[in-house]
Structures are given as structure tokens and as C-alpha cells.
């Protein structure tokens, strides 16, 4: 007997894109499933769901995605629970591809990568996708992670492309109440703490629209902030890469100040500015201060470009790879600012709900 699947789609103020997501879910090759949309009762998404014959669940005033998903979990019955978002394009075999892995008892949850739809994305959205999928930089690595083989064990599944055994979700109590931005991170962490294993299928792709550059800055700041807040609750979620990224603005400011100091104190001979040898300027702290800044800029861009080239994004092209270094800089800066905001919240004692998800 094929397992019964419930596909949960949380939505807020995005009824136009919701209709596209539901079209893909309705036309899945796997038929033993129920699609439910969960959101505010007054949301226009309710009319979209009703018009397409999809069940709509009132989120009971939930302020966050995690709380809305918990409402939907408790209001449905199935063997497996799938999660995706309201701004995706779903391949017709998505459910069938993930369901088959649950024949293995060691699979408590499974997911796959998500990429920007190339044909529907602007140049900056494609550059963002390349940056998200950068092989070397840590920002967004969970977005475009592709399994090394047919199935690879992982520590976290992307919330937009994930499936779990319902009994596992019920055993651990669902999502952490009030969590947003790291709700999937904490959920998966608790699943693994309970002794269960998570896996990734690199071919189970969801096409996920990227936000514009201004919105993605807010998104990434929130990611940094909730990483700090979630790590206060679960210290194991913090690692060296988060500490490294948190220093990014300080390194940029320090190196820029040193460069300006070196220029002001004769670290470069202006008539010989284009002379790469700078032979007329003796080696010293002033010259070193001038040299370090362009050296680090070149190194940062080289790593960004190499990571973009070797990353998994289908949006890779000479132009998007070139632009991805600027995007990575913006993402690193804003992620670090979010970390700082999270630390300020903890220091001030106000580390409750991160943001109101309805303001996205």
C-alpha cells in the first residue's frame, strides 16, 4: 500500500505565486496525497485555494511559519508530511521521487536542492542563486546542496523541499514555537538528537524564486539573527563558520582604515601609481597597509568566482558568476549584521519572536 502524503504550504500575502505552486502540486504523478494551504483566514490565498479545490486551514493567528505549520500538522492525518513554500514551481515527479526513499526504514526525512527558475529570473536573482550555491562560501549552502550520490545523509533539509515521517514529527513535538528563519534548522537538529537520520536526493529539485536584492538583504540579516538566537537554545548549531562570517564587517572596516592610513602617510608614490613594483616606496607599515587592501579584494573575488563556477546553480553564466562576488559581499555583510542584532537582543533580554512573518 502506498503511503498517504500531506503536503503543507504556508502562505502569507502571496496569492499570485501561490496559484503557480498549487498547479504544480495538483498535477503530481503521485496521487495518494492531500494538499493543504495554511495561512491567515483573511488572506487572499484562501480564495485561490478554494478556487483550485485545495483545503485551506486557518493558521489560528500564528505569527510565524513554524506555528502555522504546527497548526497544519495537528489538523491533518497522513503517513508522510511534505513541506514547501508558496513561491515555488514544482516538478510533476517531486512527491514520487521523495516518497520512494521512505521504503528504507533509516530514512526519517528526505529533501532536495532548490534553485531559481532560470527562465523566470532577472539577472540579479540569477546572480543571487549563484551566490547561494557557492561551493566555498557558507551563505545559503543548504539552498543548492546536491547529494554526492543517489542519496546522501545530511544534517539539515531545506524547509522549501523536505518530507518527514509523521510519527517522527509528532514524537519530537513539531517545530519550535515562535521560530522563524531557523525553524527548519532547529526541527532537523531535534530529529537527529532523537536518533533519526535525514537524507538528500540531489535530483529532487524544487524551483524556488529568489527575492530581489533589497529583500534578500533583509532575509539574510534575519538568518544571521535567528542563527544566534537558535544557537542560544541549541549551542551545537553554532560553528566556526558563523564566527568567521560575524567578523566580516570588522575586517572590512579595519582593512579600509589601514588602506586610507597608508595612503595618507606615503604608502604609495602617486606619480608611480601604476608602477606595480612601487620601487620608489620603501617597504614598511605604510606600504603594507596600502598593499593589503587590493590583495584581499582580489582574493575575495577569486574565491567567490571559483566557488560560483564550481557551485551547483543552473544560473551559472559568465555574467552571473562575475556579479555573484558582489552579491556574496552583500550577503556576508548582512548576515554578520544580523548576528550582531541577535547578540544585542540576547544582551537586552529580548530574544523571543524574531520578526513577524506577516511583514515579509
Using CB atoms within 10 Å of the CB of residue 280, give its burial: 0 to 12 exposed, 13 to 18 middle, 19+ buried.
exposed
- pLDDT in the model for residue 67: 92
- β-pairing, 80-83 vs 162-165, is antiparallel
pLDDT higher than threshold 90 for residue 268 = no
Q: With contact defined as beta carbons under 8 Å apart, do 69 and 186 qualify?
A: no
Look at 124 and 288; give whichever has higher pLDDT.
Answer: 124
User: E-assigned strands of 11-59?
Assistant: 33-39, 55-58
Calculate the dihedral angle through the C-alpha atoms of 229, 232, 236, 237, rounding to the nearest 10 degrees. 0
- pLDDT in the model for residue 275: 54
Low-confidence winner among 3-7, 167-171, 237-241, 334-338 (lowest mean pLDDT): 237-241
Cell output for 133 = 550555491
pLDDT higher than threshold 60 for residue 257 = yes
Look at 286 and 111; give whichever has higher pLDDT.
Answer: 111
Residue 269 banded pLDDT, cuts 50, 70, 90: low
- Rounded CA-CA distance 124/168 in Å is 39
Dihedral-angle region of residue 91 (phi above 0 means left; psi in -120 to 50 means alpha; beta otherwise): beta
pLDDT higher than threshold 50 for residue 358 = no
Q: CB 126: neighbour CB atoms within 10 A?
A: 26
Q: What pTM did the predictor assign?
A: 0.90
List, in order of start, the domains of the chain with CATH numbers: 5-134+142-211 (3.90.550.10), 240-359 (no CATH)
pLDDT higher than threshold 90 for residue 85 = yes
Comparing CA positions, the residue from 272, 266, 115 lying closest to residue 205 is 115
Look at 257 and 279; give whichever has higher pLDDT.
Answer: 257
For 194-225, what is each residue's pLDDT tens digit? 999 999 999 999 999 998 889 899 889 988 98
Look at 27 and 268; give whichever has higher pLDDT.
Answer: 27
Using CB atoms within 10 Å of the CB of residue 292, give its burial: 0 to 12 exposed, 13 to 18 middle, 19+ buried.
middle
Amino acid at each position: 500500500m502506498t503511503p498517504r502524503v500531506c503536503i503543507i504550504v504556508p502562505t502569507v500575502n502571496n496569492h499570485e505565486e501561490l496559484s503557480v505552486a498549487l498547479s504544480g502540486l495538483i498535477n503530481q504523478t503521485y496521487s495518494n496525497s492531500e494538499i493543504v494551504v495554511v495561512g491567515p483566514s483573511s488572506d487572499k490565498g484562501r480564495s485561490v485555494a478554494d478556487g483550485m479545490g485545495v483545503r485551506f486551514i486557518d493558521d489560528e493567528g500564528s505569527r510565524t511559519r513554524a506555528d502555522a505549520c504546527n497548526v497544519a500538522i495537528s489538523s491533518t492525518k497522513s503517513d508522510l508530511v511534505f513541506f514547501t513554500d508558496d513561491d515555488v514551481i514544482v516538478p510533476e515527479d517531486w512527491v514520487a521521487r521523495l516518497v520512494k526513499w521512505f521504503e528504507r526504514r533509516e530514512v526519517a526525512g528526505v529533501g532536495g536542492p532548490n534553485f531559481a527558475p532560470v527562465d523566470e529570473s532577472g539577472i540579479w536573482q540569477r546572480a543571487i542563486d549563484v551566490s547561494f550555491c557557492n561551493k566555498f562560501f557558507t551563505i545559503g549552502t543548504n539552498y543548492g546542496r546536491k547529494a554526492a550520490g543517489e542519496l546522501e545523509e545530511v544534517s539539515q533539509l531545506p524547509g522549501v523541499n523536505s518530507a518527514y515521517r509523521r510519527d517522527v514529527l509528532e514524537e519530537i513535538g513539531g517545530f519550535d514555537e515562535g521560530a522563524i528563519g531557523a525553524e527548519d534548522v532547529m526541527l532537523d537538529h531535534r530529529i537527529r538528537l532523537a536518533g533519526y537520520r535525514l537524507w538528500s536526493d540531489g535530483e529532487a529539485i524544487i524551483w524556488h524564486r529568489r527575492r530581489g536584492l533589497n529583500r534578500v538583504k533583509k532575509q539574510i540579516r534575519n538568518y544571521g539573527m535567528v542563527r544566534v538566537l537558535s544557537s542560544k537554545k541549541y549551542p551545537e548549531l553554532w560553528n566556526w563558520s558563523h564566527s568567521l562570517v560575524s567578523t566580516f564587517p570588522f575586517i572590512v572596516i579595519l582593512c579600509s582604515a589601514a588602506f586610507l592610513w597608508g595612503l595618507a602617510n606615503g604608502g604609495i608614490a602617486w606619480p608611480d601609481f601604476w608602477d606595480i613594483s612601487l620601487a620608489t616606496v620603501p617597504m614598511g607599515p605604510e606600504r603594507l597597509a596600502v598593499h593589503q587592501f587590493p590583495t584581499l579584494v582580489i582574493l575575495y573575488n577569486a574565491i567567490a568566482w571559483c566557488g560560483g563556477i564550481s557551485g551547483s546553480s543552473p544560473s551559472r553564466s559568465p555574467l552571473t558568476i562575475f556579479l555573484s562576488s558582489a552579491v556574496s559581499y552583500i550577503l556576508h555583510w548582512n548576515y554578520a549584521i544580523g548576528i550582531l542584532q541577535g547578540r544585542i537582543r540576547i544582551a537586552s533580554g529580548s530574544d523571543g519572536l524574531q520578526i513577524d512573518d506577516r511583514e515579509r
